[in-house]
Amino acid sequence: MYIAKDISYKIGGKAILENISITIPPGSLTAIVGPNGAGKTTLLKILTGEYSTKNQNIFINQVPIQKLGTEALSKIRAVVPQSAHVNFPFTVEEIVALGRYPHKKLKATNAEIIDSVMHITEIAALKDRIYMTLSGGEKQRVQLARALAQIWERSTDPSYLFLDEPTANLDIAQQHQIFEHTKRMCGSNVGILMIIHDLNLAAQYADHLIYLKQGSIVAQGPAEFMIKKHWIEETFSYPVDLVPDRSSGRSYIIPRAKFENNTETNLETLIPIENGKFDN
């Protein structure tokens, strides 16, 4: 279990996070959603040990995070950032192999693990490609494979994977591929925390949902009970409608367009532009 209790964080005297307590259960996907500036990425960096707080109330498998050295920590938790810049002509296989750096294993063992995670994330055919030549979706799958290679060691203790908006700038198919690959890992005793902007993706894939606004938790709990109109509108300060999905039993979130009551479009004032469209 990955547990954080009463996490607060300030920058220049300004509170970024206040009294955050969350639990990341192994074998499940926990999603954090909230508006820009809510403190989501800051929280992720504190949870993963990149940022430290005055009171380090973070426990990984019952061990305080400050008692875990860098090497021990890197073996049980991996991070996929929103974007990863690579300035050298590494191949896909070389990028994935970076995940094995903390482990003192035989070359053959590492090679087997690297091969396994590349097949799981469906990038085996890209192994000799230069990373910088890949599409956005391909790069995200490579980074996911690198993270999986890092926490691949199987033991009685669970491992954890953190992802910061992994589907940003991806098309619909690529978004669902990332979620499908990630969700599979939950069955391998892996606890996953993901920052997600798309509420509908969170509703479809998350097991647990956390609403974060202005550094505080609005609500959290099992995802099937958390897709509620009042919590969404309170978190994002914007009206929404919920449309039930009969196949999944969950709901789609539809933002409601806000128009002024007296606003009307006068077609005679529009100026025609290309392809038969109009502009004023």
Domains of the chain: 2-238 (3.40.50.300)
CA–CA distance, 75 with 159 (Å, rounded to integer): 8
Amino acid making up residue 45: K
Burial, 46: exposed, middle or buried (Cβ in 10 Å; 0-12, 13-18, 19+)?
buried
* DSSP 3-state percent helix, strand, coil across the chain (nearest 5): 35, 25, 35
Instruction: Encode the chain (280 residues) as per-residue pLDDT tens digits.
Output: 999 999 999 988 889 999 999 999 999 999 999 999 999 999 999 999 898 887 778 999 999 998 888 888 998 999 998 877 888 899 999 999 999 988 878 889 999 999 999 998 889 999 999 999 998 888 988 999 999 999 887 667 899 999 999 888 788 988 888 888 888 888 778 999 999 999 999 999 999 999 999 999 999 999 989 999 999 999 999 999 999 877 777 788 999 887 655 444 454 444 454 544 444 4
Q: pLDDT digits over 29-68, tens only?
A: 999 999 999 999 999 999 998 988 877 789 999 999 988 8
Give the residues across from 210 on adjacent strands. Answer: 32, 220
For 74, 75, 100, 175, 204, the CA distances from 150, given in Å and listed in that order, are 7, 6, 5, 22, 27
Q: pLDDT digits over 128-141, tens only?
A: 999 999 988 889 88
SS3 177: helix
